[in-house]
Chains A and B, each alone.
Chain A
Amino acid sequence: MNFTLKIWRQKGAKDSGQFVTYPIKDISSDSSFLEMIDILNNQLVEKGEEPIAFDHDCREGICGMCSMYINGHPHGPENLITTCQLHMRSFKDGDSITIEPWRSSAFPVIKDLVVDRSAFDRIIQAGGYVSVNTGNAQDANNIPIPKTDADKAFDAATCIGCGACVAACKNASAMLFTSAKVSQLALLPQGQVEAKARVENMVAQMDKEGFGACTNTGACSAECPKGISIENIARMNREFIKAKLSSENV
């Protein structure tokens, strides 16, 4: 298959970027999207040009590293997959494909398609944990947890932290990401003790990082490669109100 790629090139955080067009030929339809970029990069390197910088690692949709905005969609046109799981058979021969980085002021571009997502780490650091030291735990089966709760907590916990939700949102809101962690822990007995402080601190950090407000468009969940449900946002809002009503954090 042959394609015309329009790829965002940007030297560094402070440089301005632009689209550069690269034709590419003879790509197998079984090749993955990132393998196609690998092929292009090898061609660029062998011509002595700089390859396109992009983030990737596991290449099986779980590490959350890959992050390309393809033809107007985070992770491309297919639902419920990451960029690394996208295959060229999802495109038509001769297609023109536009590839950009995540766009959000909270995710500054490092180079080309690589952005800095450390804001997400700082949100988790603000409270996305249970404060249990190693060795403090009781027997794992001492507290039975209803399967439905455990399953829901699991579903929320499957967030891979890729940032597609932010990239998809016109306000660049991080509500889906933050609420997934808040929900996971809110649904489990282990998360109760610190529930109030957690939601307050995580939301405060999210605001501090410069993510936008949520206006309930649902684009985040629709574009999420893991299908994280928008219910989590509702749950976080409830948790937040509960916390504020009896806040000890002044």
Chain B
Amino acid sequence: MSSKLNSNIPKGDLRDKWSQYKSEIALVNPANKRHIDIIVIGTGLAGGAAAASFGEMGYSVKAFCFQDSPRRAHSIAAQGGINAAKNYQNDGDSVYRLFYDTIKGGDYRSREANVHRLAEVSRNIIDQCVAQGVPFAREYGGYLDNRSFGGVQVKRTFYAKGQTGQQLLLGAYSALSRQINAGTVKMYHRHEMMDVVLMDDTTDAKRGKVARGVIARNLITGEIERHSAHAVVLASGGYGNVFFLSTNAMGSNVTASWKAYKKGAFMANPCYTQIHPTCLPRSGDHQAKLTLMSESLRNDGRVWVPKKKEDAIAIQQGKKTALDIPDADRDFYLERRYPAFGNLVPRDVASRAAKERCDAGYGVNGTGEAVYLDFKYAIERMGAKAVESKYGNLFQMYEKIAAEDPYKMPMKIYPAVHYTMGGTWVDYNLMTTIPGLFATGECNFSDHGANRLGASALMQGLADGYFVIPYTIGGYLSKDIRTGSIPTDTPEFDEAEKTIKERINFFLSNKGSKSVDYFHRKLGNIMWEECGMARNEKGLTQAIEDIKKIRADFWKEVLVPGKADEYNPELDKALRVADFLELGELMCRDALNRNESCGGHFREEYQTEEGEALRDDENFAYVAAWEFKGVDNKPELHKEELVYDNVEMKQRSYK
């Protein structure tokens, strides 16, 4: 392991590590908590849950989000569900099984200790949410209902129709609102974090430079603000929008974690991207984002393309429709290739299989990039009513966008960028390589390895926010009880503020001719083509050069209208895209470094004869953590070796 990386995994048996460790973490007594400030960046599931819990514990909290309300964080869009090892269905589920499925699903590229902890606390999450009044789906007997999700063989997914993320987020939002009302949390909405501020630790010189605050921008007035704290928690979500088109909300960005990276927080496995198999295909150049259709649809929908090339071509040309193809001429390629899991194979596998069929010429729309997801069989089996009660709102959503009735015509779907497993490197305490800076939820890299299983992001966000960081942050803050409040009139704050103001002034005075979106789209195209579902050495090497060029053009040609001291969404975008343009290069470097295929990272050079991902455990069973060395310099790679004491590393098989 690199000398700069210490994962701080507690000793002891995997099953007892967390409970043992929890009982030994240093505590901050209630009287002292009031004098300790914590900044939380982001109020999605991870940040909302953390800020609420910190407030309840008595810390003094400042929480930030860029939307007009914490209730609108991107977590709201999650549809399908949240996993928990409750075994309410009595189908043999257990903490160990959830742990095992997650490790295997992540293609043996995540940390055992973190994942086991996640599986343990998953049960508390459901209890907590039900107590908050989250209206999960129930059975007629009044008990909680479950569904199954990709990559597993038990039913452990809790859900609230197709709006699970909304209901969970509103639960966290209500807990947060209660603390805002109680005065323990001060909420800064329509604020964007622009930088993290580091200072020498005055109480413990051994800690060196520690995170002591942030620079934030009030998006309404444009004012640049200084906020200090004893610790800063990032919960700023994923960076899928580096691809321009993704299922992420329009405002999702990497700025918070990227600024942290540039201040010394390592980025881990940035190339691990999840491309979700069931999204609506692209329709044209006007498109600003892609829409996900919940994976839960694969429970009852069957995925297929025509068996015969001539049928596919006729469909592409609009001369035939799905209804013209008899069952015998339909290729249910997931069921054919993966009989054990069928349509419920994990996402990376399902996405690649769709791409394989479309690349071979069997796509089913004008662009040739779509496959069918068909409910005809489910309707025959359980009736249209039952299908409607399970998926009604998703069907409605599909019909609104695609203008086709999915009860009559199979849906057309295609993979799209959805989630980023990579992110800010954290140790077992969720602390980054900058002391006092923590990262939770999608913005950190932990738990999902190279591929995340469905319904596990909500679980991780809430686990981190409610049940992990409230404990682990105490260990760090216990050394700060005598620090006193942190001043903001320091040279470090001056410097950070100056840098950001210069950047803003640059944008507003640059006499360019192209909009921010112009560059963002260009970057997105390269990322999708070269660092998307399939990658290779040549493409990645070229992509790195191309991105550098776009970046240079951006700084010359970008045009940002308006002023600094007003509501100016084009400026917000410019500041975010500037960071994406650097991140894209790092993702390609990471993908180029990883000479193997694992999970969502598929290098064409490394595949089995059957076209499955070919891992190289000998050389790549490590977390790649990158250290910033300057925008125009190569970052330095640090390796955290992954050790598996409790599971055997196998080739993932869903056959």
Complex contacts, A34 vs chain B, CB 8 Å: 288
Bound CA–CA A28/B285 (angstroms)? 10
The chain B residue sitting closest to A89, CB to CB, is: B403
A157 contacts chain B at the CB level, 8 A cutoff: yes
Contact indicator per residue, chain B 502-541, by CB within 8 Å of chain A (1) or not (0): 0000000000011101100000000000000000000000
Contact indicator per residue, chain A 135-156, by CB within 8 Å of chain B (1) or not (0): 1111111011111001101100
Bound CA–CA A132/B131 (angstroms)? 7
A140 x B69 contact (CB < 8 A): no
Contact indicator per residue, chain B 153-177, by CB within 8 Å of chain A (1) or not (0): 0000000110101110010011101
Complex contacts, B181 vs chain A, CB 8 Å: 125-126
- B126, B128, B163, B566: which contacts A111 (Cβ < 8 A)? B566
Bound CA–CA A40/B75 (angstroms)? 29
- B68, B167, B401: which contacts A157 (Cβ < 8 A)? B167
Complex contacts, B74 vs chain A, CB 8 Å: 57-58, 63
The chain A residue sitting closest to B73, CB to CB, is: A63
A125 to chain B, nearest CB (A): 4
B53 contacts chain A at the CB level, 8 A cutoff: yes
Complex contacts, A184 vs chain B, CB 8 Å: 133, 135
B137 contacts chain A at the CB level, 8 A cutoff: yes
B77 x A60 contact (CB < 8 A): yes
The chain A residue sitting closest to B70, CB to CB, is: A121
Complex contacts, B144 vs chain A, CB 8 Å: 140-141
B567 x A144 contact (CB < 8 A): no
Complex contacts, B141 vs chain A, CB 8 Å: 144
A45 x B515 contact (CB < 8 A): yes
Complex contacts, B292 vs chain A, CB 8 Å: 60
- B76, B291, B567: which contacts A114 (Cβ < 8 A)? B567
B86 contacts chain A at the CB level, 8 A cutoff: yes
B569 contacts chain A at the CB level, 8 A cutoff: yes
A71 contacts chain B at the CB level, 8 A cutoff: no
A50 contacts chain B at the CB level, 8 A cutoff: yes
Bound CA–CA A185/B139 (angstroms)? 19
A140 and B174 contact, Cβ closer than 8 Å, known pairs A42-B517, A60-B77, A154-B160 = no
A135 x B283 contact (CB < 8 A): no
- A30, A161, A185: which contacts B284 (Cβ < 8 A)? A30
The chain A residue sitting closest to B134, CB to CB, is: A157
B261 contacts chain A at the CB level, 8 A cutoff: no
A51 x B131 contact (CB < 8 A): no
Complex contacts, B485 vs chain A, CB 8 Å: none
Complex contacts, B466 vs chain A, CB 8 Å: 134-135
A59 and B128 contact, Cβ closer than 8 Å, known pairs A45-B561, A124-B177, A134-B466 = no
Q: Which residues, 165 to 180 on A, are CB-close (under 8 Å) to B?
A: none
A130 contacts chain B at the CB level, 8 A cutoff: yes
Complex contacts, A210 vs chain B, CB 8 Å: none
B397 contacts chain A at the CB level, 8 A cutoff: yes
B76 x A51 contact (CB < 8 A): no
Complex contacts, A130 vs chain B, CB 8 Å: 131-133, 174
20 A-B pairs besides A28-B283, A46-B514, A51-B570 with CB distance below 8 A are: A30-B284, A51-B561, A51-B569, A55-B68, A57-B72, A57-B250, A58-B74, A58-B76, A63-B77, A65-B72, A89-B403, A117-B68, A130-B174, A136-B131, A147-B138, A147-B142, A151-B135, A158-B166, A161-B69, A161-B71
Give me the interface of A with B, judged by CB distance under 8 Å: 11-12, 27-28, 30-32, 34-36, 38-39, 42, 44-46, 48-51, 53, 55-65, 80-81, 85, 87, 89, 110-111, 114, 116-118, 120-121, 124-126, 128-141, 143-147, 150-151, 153-154, 157-158, 160-161, 184-185, 188, 190-191
The 3 A-B residue pairs whose C-beta atoms are closest, nearest first, are A144-B142, A129-B174, A137-B131
